[in-house]
Structure 1
Amino acid sequence: MKSLSTLLGSSARRDLESGPDDGVVRALTEMVTHPEYPCLGARSVFRRDTASVVVLDEMEHADDLATLADALRTFAARTKDATNFVSLIAAFRSPVVTSEAQFEELLWGVLQTLHDGDDQPWTEGVSDDPAQPHFAFSHAGTAFFIVGLHPAASRIARRAPLPMLVFNLHAQFERLREEGGFDRMRTAIRTRDTRLQGGVNPMAEDHGDSSEARQYSGRAVDDDWKPPFEAREDDA
């Protein structure tokens, strides 16, 4: 079997840029179910077939982001009572991402556009200020924890052949914490990530200790970092 790094190489990206949507889904499934992939939550989603994947063209195109917004609304309504881990994954065929800073800007551009077009108030129980420890992104009345993946990621676990945004229900992590399984899963993931990368992700923090916004893009950021995002005044 190919190593995870080899699996995520440039040849995989070239194949997916022009391939059909089901090719993207197959490549994503192969990546997440690879024995070296550290995120147990993601592996659970694909093992249970509870991942919703939408393949789009552009991260900056209004029509593609409108499609994503519709998919998120449908996903939020369908999974509001889910007991298993579920995720919505948006994969973009373009642009070609060459740096972590570029991807970070694109990611927050997508989230700002989604928020600007959202007619629901910010989810109760989480902050709309990305500088606050209890921040979580909100769309369609649902709180999400975002995981960004792209070809130029320095962390192997965040590296993918195409730019992708994974929308995880924030409530599923809170439920896991209440049931006592969160610490165990977190420790296992960090152990697997260390085995893959040689060290723990320096941005890995627990919700409430620092803003999860710092983790969304996967880029290591300074203490004074602020994302290019602003919530509407009626949500503040």
Structure 2
Amino acid sequence: MAQLHAKSWLDHHSISLEKWEREAYLSFASMIADDGNSYPCVPGRQGFLTDNLRFGFAPDPRTEAAAREAADLLAQYGPLSRDTGKYASLVIFFHTPEDLLQSASVEDYEELFWSLLRDASKLDAASWPESIPRDPGHHEWEFCYGGEPYFAFCATPAHAVRRSRSFPGFLVAFQPRWVFQEINDSTPFGRNMKKIIRRKLADYDGIPAHPSLKWYGQQDNQEWRQYYLRDDDSALSKCPFLNGKIKLPAGD
């Protein structure tokens, strides 16, 4: 069974991890808690520093085992996420072998990301929440697991332009939707946070923000488009998650 870990545990037990796991975690720590405080995701940085984040490790994302491990981690995480702190997130590091590092493009990782979400969703024993639209084109759609809606985020070794989406290995993070209750476009705090994040993002990446980036609840927003951003401004025309099987609520 996959195991969830807190920063406080990993900081004291990294020697017990496999080499790739230890390197992935240390790379993440140095990235998100850099001395210059340049990392653009303010809630993510704060969550890391206050031990709100939870971490998991999974095998090569090309394997069926990767989806099973991700599903297992999500199943464990959902019930306890609210007890971890107001800046909660689940970060999953995937073993990224040398052949994948050398050959995979941004588009290849994009396909892996959506395959992973689809395959993990098929293992979900819970029905799709009635409060979340089933159409990814709806501005309130979100990926769900165990009845919990999440914002998903992916970073890869192939990203060479958008620094905020670059990581030495394949990484997927899941942020519970409830985290954004105060961080949205309808509150002064949320609007101010949006400005701060957008400014830091432009400084960090050195290029304008991807046109797909919006704010949850905006009528022209589509969350799925923000899960995986390419290095350029291009984007898929249709959400690949629709190819997966979604359990509908009873009676539908």
Question: Could you state the TM-score of these two structures normalised by the residue count of structure 2?
Answer: 0.79
CA distance in 1 between counterparts of 2:142 and 2:28 reads: 25
- The CA distance in 2 between the partners of 1:104 and 1:116, in whole Å, is 19
Task: Sort the Cα spacing of 1:83 and 1:45 in 2 relative to 1 into closer, same or farther, 3 A.
Answer: closer
Gaps of 5+ in 1: 1-17
Within the alignment, does 1:167 sit opposite 2:174 as a pair? Answer: yes
The reply to whether residue 193 of structure 1 matches residue 209 of structure 2 is no
Structure 1 window deviating more from structure 2 (72-81 vs 140-149): it is: 72-81
Could you tell me how far 1:121 is from its partner in structure 2? 1.2
Give the alignment partner of residue 137 of structure 1, picking from 140, 143, 147. Answer: 143
Q: Structure 1 residues 25 and 233 mapped into 2: Cα distance closer, same or farther (>3 Å)?
A: closer
2-structure distance, mates of 1:204, 1:92: 25
Cα deviation, residue 179, structure 1: 5.8
Q: Distance in 2 between matches of 1:221 and 1:120?
A: 34
- Find the partner of 2:56 among 48, 54, 58: 54
Residues 180 and 233 (structure 1), Cα distance of their counterparts in 2 relative to 1, 3 Å cut: same
The answer to whether the 8 Å contact 1:136/1:212 transfers is yes
Is the 8 Å Cα contact of residues 24 and 168 (structure 2) preserved in structure 1?
Answer: no
Contiguous gaps of at least 5 residues in structure 2: 1-17
Match of 1:45 among 44, 47, 55: 47
2:154 maps to 1:148? yes
How big is the shift at 1:29?
Answer: 0.7
2:53 touches 2:84 (CA, 8 Å); kept in 1? Answer: no
Percent identity (aligned): 22
Q: Please, which of 102, 110, 124 is the counterpart of residue 118 of structure 1?
A: 124
Written as runs of structure 1 = structure 2, the 5 A alignment for 1:194-209 is 194-196=202-204, 197-208=206-217, 209=220
Residues 203 and 174 from structure 1, CA distance in 2 versus in 1: closer, same or farther, beyond 3 angstroms?
same
Alpha-carbon RMSD: 2.1
| Distance of 2:25 and 2:85 partners within structure 1 | 23
- Quickly say closer, same or farther: Cα 1:107–1:22, change in 2 above 3 A: same
